Structure 1
Amino acid sequence: MASISPSAGQKRRFSLPQGLPLKIGVLIAIGLLIAAPLLRILFETLAPNSISAWNDVVLSPLSRNLLWIPLGNTMILGLGVATGCVLIGGFLAWLVVMTDIPFRRTIGLMATLPFMIPSFATALAWGSLFRNGRVGGQTGFLEGLGLSIPDWLSWGMTPTLIVLTAHYYSLAFTVIAAALATINSDLVEAAQMTGAKRGRIFMGIILPVALPAIVSGASLTFAGAVSNFAAPALLGLPVRMQTMATRLFGMIEIGQSARGYVIAILLIAVSALFLWFGNKIISGRRSYATITGKGGRAKRFTLGTAKYPLFAAAALICLLTTVVPVVILIASSVAPSSSALFSNWTLHYWIGASTPTIAQGQAGVFYNPFIVSATTTTISLGLVVAVTGSILGLMIAFTLARYRTGFLSGTINQLSFLPLLVPGIAFGAAYIALFGAPMGPFPALYGTFALLVIAGTAYLVPFAVQTGRAVIQQVSGDLDESARLTGAGFFRRMTAITVPLASRGIAAGALIIFVKIVRDLSLVVLLFTPTTPVLSVLAYRYASEGFTQFANAITVVILVISIAATLLANRLQTKSQPWLKN
């Protein structure tokens, strides 16, 4: 009997849907990297020998110190920082975008810089200025001048609020400025022609348009503040002010992992709930169309006699949050003590040999083998995570851009941005839960460089995907489709078309990921071991042990690496996207 071969149409009918293997592969990758660790900490707390941790944390007599006081402090920090960031960021955004203030481009640039400075750097600078003798050790510069610094200004809630607001207001500035830039100047001019006063214009036109950005800025800064570990640890722990992040760190440090995982879950819930609430407000409001097909000219409010006082206020804010912390850190790294920042400078803490009479025999940064090793580990970690993060982000972005529809694409999209809802220290705890013990034939990864790379890659997936999307959008889908029809496989198309055409954008995105992991403390503070030292944790450890000069010198090294990489990334982005020059 003659065999009957299927027709071409029948072959196509039984072939896999286009992009399905890629979707499944990407979903497995991000499922293992993101969903699995988060599910593991939940299952750990529900195990028979650990479920009592929920009662300990939430309902027992211990809960006041384990949860409720830290939660109260965390909420105060989150709401206070969100309010301060919206006020400061919104004020600067209004000046830069809507008014005729002089040097507005310079102010706009400086307003974006504080977020480049790690929060622990700003906290260290604050301590070098305002630290008093309450907890012993070196006192700050102002007390060295003979001033009496009250405890509330040196330690606890007030300095932590100020430091975190100074660090995060750049986020609010960026999103609010972008919203204000979309306001049609014809609307403002029409209102002025009808005799509307500035207050009426602000409440009736500017505020409704900017409200989504204000809520978004508040949500982002709230989430950043409640998850921040560095500032509360450096300025709050010495006086026993606990937040959920510091309490989580303490539980893991003393081996009470189950209680720590419960706190991690609750911290994730607090951060996610506020972000969801912000999105709900935005999605539920009326929309206002502010961009039309007509060309428009920018019309700025004239400040009149208030121009220079407002400029002075804006310049002071920018100087205090960008230039001053860096100057203080540099001065402290060469001063014999924080109480005498600008006298008797020495380079011992940078290039000095081990001397028993100075810093308990610690050699300078460049001659200390442990610090040199930490520098090498940190740079290596940044480079490897930049590569792995860019590759993963590019694959996810390609999947979402080329195969948008379907349940799998929606799931990939949701999972890839899930780390934005998870505080870094909670994400680190999840990785300890998943990889802290052997799994079948796989050994425990805790204390290895591989765990730092995997955790860093997973945590920075959202930023990698955003960068990848920008890259994919630069390459026409027709090119990819034409290559596919000629028989080129996915990896062949990526290496021959997408990567070469968007190499500058990919490199810029990789540098951004590099900067984020190099200056991160919250994620790696729980994953740190003496065999895998990183600079950010080392700076925190030195500061906690009273070696202020070494902590500040290490922080300066981190700043130099971060700023150099950021400037290079901005240069590459400008070249890959010429419209940014305008």
Structure 2
Amino acid sequence: MMPPILRHPGLWPTLAVLTVLCLLVAAPLATILGETLGSAAWAEVLASRLSRNLLWRPLATTLTIGVAVAAGCLLIGGFLAWLVTMTDVPFRRSIGFMATLPFMIPSFATALAWGTMFSNGRTGGAGGMLEGLGVAVPDWLAWGIVPVILVLIAHYYALAFTVISAALSSVNGDLIDAAMMTGASRRRIVTGIVLPVVTPALLAGASLAFAGAVSNFATPALLGLPVRMQTLSTRLFGMIEIGQTERGYVLAILLIAVSAVFLGLGNRLLAGRRSFATITGKGGRGRVMELGRARWPLCALALLICLVTTILPIILLAAASLAPMSSALFSDWTLHYWIGEADPAFARGLAGILHNPQLLTALGVTMGLGISVALAANAVGLVVAVTTTRWHLPLLTGAATQLSFLPLLLPGIAFGAAYIALYGAPIGSFPALYGTPLLLALALTAAMLPFAVQTGRATVAQISGEIDEAARITGAGFLRRLWSITLPLAAPGQIAGVLLIFVSVIGDLAIVVLLYTPATPVLSVLSYRYASDGFHQFANAVTLVILILSIAATLVAQLLRKRQRNAA
């Protein structure tokens, strides 16, 4: 008699999902580990005369950046979340909306804007706007670890804001009322009640900011490499770029370990205390704290933070794409960097980006990648969501869940290295994928799976399992039910997931910087290459193209959602 598990309707779909996840996630990671076993790369990286420059100094810099960014994001994101969710500060909705925008702006765009403002010409290029105004910008503010930390905080605090504001919105107002009745001050309420009960959200926000900061490549490369500041991500890129792949794979494994250790510490802190519950069976209500005279000063501070991290970088990038000199940012504007013909007497003979055939190729590749990865990742994420929520196969569904969320913990540049290790060379009769759009698409699809699965779970949870079960009883197979029932019903809820992935892909640099080739250019790498070669006006112009695509995608998604609400 056939074992019961073999008759389970979800067995074969779950096995198929596990196979796909193993090919996309587990196999590349296992490959980089296998490539380094038995080689001298571990000894060279960990304990040799090269170790100090290869590992220890970049590791110390990486940890410093990660901890500082996590702390800064908690401070700013927590402050804005508290204002928006728990106080009577004016313009709460506007502040809340603007606080979510910085994450949609690629980090290298903010880094380019920082250079436009604060560059002091130390690396041989022209000075920035402040130097043009006669301000002596110190080296520590123009280049190195300080600007890297500040730019990354400006980019990642939106993550902390999102997580913390969701937690603060669930704090029971009765707790605050009870404290106020006993005469507790506002400061005492915040530090003694609010902060302790949202500890899980604080740790989650810190973990996300830390993981993003230690794996970020673009900002340390643009603001650190000119003064020879190395992080693990930039050192990893350098090793693979010069052909020392085994050393690069070792650094990738260590970079993954750094993220895993920090996340593990956060989970351990949570495990040591279980009294975070603030939502009980009793009714609760929110409590808005009155700020009194502090309302408008705090509102002004919040708006200033949001404007500096969202509007100002875009203004600086736009001006810098038109000004011949960053030191004279708002004078002598020209459209040459956009539409100018090649002129040996101007910009070293480079034509404007709209006359650069590589830009059109990069635009096509980027749009194709963004659309295909968004659709593919959401399709895989929806199938994973269906198999892991509709059926309970203890080992199989658990493994599928863990693998689908694993990319969230992996630094992007390490993920790119893993794909080079597995798919960069032929596998039997299967050809090498390095240099093809397919490799970029596979790596980006795997990296975006956690977002797609989370979106898929949210939409699948709204679809009654009775519909699927009724179709199964009538003889409809899994693929038929998925195509005819689940996909149409889940489509409206998938729009947000498609948008998030599309915006993330077109602005990604950490993964694609290792996987692109001249045959597969993308806009983010084109901007980075322009900046690395000193053509900052062209880099700023390309970055604005990426921002325009992101804004256009957001507007299209909002229009589609509005039409769906009107149709409903």
1:109-163 Cα shifts (integer Å, max 9, x gaps) = 1111111111000000000011111111222111111221111111001100100
Contact 1:172 1:221 in 2 (8 A): yes
Residues 1:35 and 2:26 aligned together: yes
Query: Is the contact made by 2:198 and 2:276 (CA closer than 8 Å) also made in structure 1?
Result: no
Other-structure match for 1:7? none
Contact 1:34 1:415 in 2 (8 A): yes
Partner of 1:231: 219
Q: Does residue 211 of structure 2 align to residue 211 of structure 1? A: no
Where in structure 2 are the equivalents of 1:372-521 lying within 5 Å?
A: 372-521=360-509
Paired with 1:25 and 1:153, the residues of 2 have a C-alpha distance of 52
Residue 557 in structure 1 maps to residue 548 in structure 2: no
Conserved? CA contact 1:164–1:225, under 8 Å:
yes
Q: Secondary structure at the match of 1:357?
A: coil
The aligned residue for residue 85 of structure 2 is 97
Q: CA deviation at 1:387?
A: 1.5
Deviation, 1:519, is 0.5
Q: Distance in 1 between matches of 2:411 and 2:241?
A: 18
Question: Which one-letter code corresponds to 1:429 in the other structure?
Answer: A
- Unpaired runs of 5+ residues, structure 1, are 1-9
**Could you tell me how far apart the structure 1 residues matched to 2:6 and 2:285 are?**
55
CA, structure 1 residues 569+287, in 2 after alignment: closer, same or farther (shift >3 Å)?
Answer: farther
**In structure 2, C-alpha distance between the alignment counterparts of 1:285 and 1:12, rounded to whole Å:** 43
Contact 2:164–2:202 under 8 Å retained in 1: yes
Q: How does 1:288-307 map to 2 (within 5 A)?
A: 288-307=276-295
Once the two structures are TM-superposed, the CA of residue 509 in structure 1 deviates from its matched residue by 1.6
Q: The residue matched to 1:478 in structure 2 has which SS?
A: helix
In the aligned structure 2, how far is the partner of 1:121 from the partner of 1:173? 21
Question: How many Å apart are 1:474 and its aligned residue?
Answer: 2.0
Tell me, yes or no, if the aligned pair for 1:113 and 1:322 is still in contact at 8 Å: yes
Residues 338-381 of structure 1: CA distance to partner in whole angstroms, max 9, x if unpaired? Answer: 11111111111111111122222222122210111101110011
1:98-117 equivalence runs, <5 A: 98-117=86-105
Q: Which runs of 4+ in 1 moved over 4 A?
A: 10-15, 293-297, 570-578
Decide whether aligned partners of structure 1 residues 275 and 567 sit closer, same or farther in structure 2, where only a CA change above 3 A counts: farther
CA distance in 1, matches of 2:408, 2:565: 26
RMSD: 1.7
Q: 1:13 to 1:119 in 2, by over 3 A?
A: closer
Question: Given residue 378 of structure 1, which amino acid in structure 2 is its aligned partner?
Answer: T
The Cα shift of 1:277 comes to 1.4
Match for residue 79 of structure 1? 67
Equivalent residue for 2:183?
A: 195
The answer to whether the aligner puts 1:23 opposite 2:14 as a matched pair is: yes
- Secondary structure class of the residue paired with 2:137: coil
1:245·1:425 contact (CA, 8 Å) conserved in 2? Answer: yes
Residues 1:15 and 1:92: Cα distance change in structure 2 (over 3 Å): closer
Alpha-carbon distance between aligned partners in 2 of 1:244 and 1:56, rounded to the nearest angstrom: 15
2:16, 2:308 → 1: CA distance? 48
Q: Secondary structure, in 3 states, of the residue corresponding to 1:242?
A: coil
Following TM superposition, by how much is the alpha carbon of 1:436 offset from its aligned partner in structure 2, in angstroms? 1.4
Question: Could you tell me which residue of structure 1 aligns to residue 353 of structure 2?
Answer: 365
In structure 2, do the counterparts of structure 1 residues 142 and 300 end up closer, same or farther at CA, with 3 Å as the change threshold? Answer: same
Is the 8 Å Cα contact of residues 378 and 494 (structure 2) preserved in structure 1? yes
Counterpart for residue 300 of structure 2? 312
Residues 480-535 of structure 1, C-alpha deviations (whole Å, 9 max, x = no match): 00000000011111111111112222233222211111110001000011000000
How far has the Cα of 1:478 moved from its partner?
0.6
SS in 2 for 1:510: helix
Contact 1:499 1:506 in 2 (8 A): no
Distance in 1 of aligned mates of 2:49 and 2:521? 37
- TM-superposed deviation, 1:275: 1.2
Q: Could you tell me whether the CA contact under 8 Å between 2:173 and 2:285 is conserved in 1?
A: yes
* Residue-by-residue CA offset, 1:29-78 (whole Å, 9 max, x unaligned): 1001100000000000014xxx1110110000100000000000000000
Aligned residue in 2 for 1:130: 118
**Paired residue secondary structure (1:334):** coil
Amino acid at match of 2:126: Q
* 2:237 corresponds to 1:246: no
Distance between the aligned counterparts of 1:503 and 1:542, measured in 2? 39
- 1:498/1:148 CA distance change after superposition, 3 Å: same
Question: How far did 1:173 drift?
Answer: 0.8
Q: Quickly say closer, same or farther: Cα 1:551–1:378, change in 2 above 3 A.
A: same
Give the conservation status (yes or no) of the 8 Å contact 2:259–2:409: yes
Tell me if 1:165 matches 2:153: yes
From 488, 500, 515, the counterpart of 1:527 = 515
**Letter in structure 1 aligned against 2:141:** L
What is the rounded CA distance, in whole Å, between the counterparts of 1:11 and 1:36 in structure 2? 31
Matched letter for residue 91 of structure 1: F
Secondary structure at the aligned position of 1:487 is classed as coil
1:345 corresponds to 2:336: no
> Deviation string for 1:432-488 (max 9, x for gaps)?
111111111011110101101111111111111111111211211110000000000
Match of 1:222 in 2: 210
Letter in 2 for 1:220: L
Would you say 1:70 and 2:58 are equivalent positions?
Answer: yes
Write the distance in 1 (CA, Å) between the matches of 2:58 and 2:19: 36
1:176 aligns with 2:164: yes
Measure the CA separation in 1 of the matches of 2:136 and 2:276.
Answer: 53
Q: 1-side partners of 2:383 and 2:184: how far apart?
A: 52
Q: How many angstroms apart in 1 are the aligned matches of 2:166 and 2:455?
A: 19
Q: Indicate the percent of aligned positions where both proteins have the same amino acid.
A: 62
| Most deviating of 67-76 and 432-441 | 432-441
- The more displaced of 287-296 and 240-249 is 287-296
Corresponding letter in the other structure for 2:186:
R
Give me the whole-angstrom Cα distance separating, in 2, the residues matched to 1:282 and 1:566: 36
Deviations 1:383-428 (A, max 9, x none): 1111211111111111011113410011111111111111000000
Q: Distance in 1 between matches of 2:560 and 2:412?
A: 28
Q: Could you give the per-residue CA deviations for residues 554-577 of structure 1, whole angstroms, max 9, x where no partner exists?
A: 000101111222343355567768
TM-score (norm 1): 0.95
* Structure 2 CA distance for aligned equivalents of residues 333 and 489 of structure 1: 55
Distance 1:194 1:553, change over 3 A: same
Change (3 A) 1:573 1:425: farther
Aligned counterparts of 2:183 and 2:311: Cα–Cα separation in 1: 42
Q: Mean alpha-carbon deviation: is it higher for 561-570 or for 132-141?
A: 561-570
Take 2:5 and 2:380, find their aligned partners in 1: how far apart are those partners?
A: 30
| Change in CA separation of 1:296 and 1:411 when aligned onto 2, cut-off 3 Å | closer
Give me the whole-angstrom Cα distance separating, in 2, the residues matched to 1:70 and 1:117: 26
Q: Would the aligned equivalents of 2:5 and 2:11 in 1 still touch at CA under 8 Å?
A: no
Q: Distance in 2 between matches of 1:204 and 1:477?
A: 44
Distance 1:309 1:331 in 2: 30
Distance 2:364 2:513 in 1: 17
Deviation at 1:270, TM superposition (A): 0.1
- State the distance in 2 between where 1:530 and 1:261 align: 23
Aligned in 2, Cα 1:573/1:210: closer, same or farther, shift over 3 Å?
farther
CA distance 1:398–1:290, shift in 2 (3 Å): same
Which residue identity is paired with 1:359? A
Evaluate the alpha carbon distance shift between residue 574 and residue 474 of structure 1 in structure 2; reply closer, same or farther with a 3 A threshold: farther
User: TM-score, with normalisation over the residues of structure 2?
Assistant: 0.97
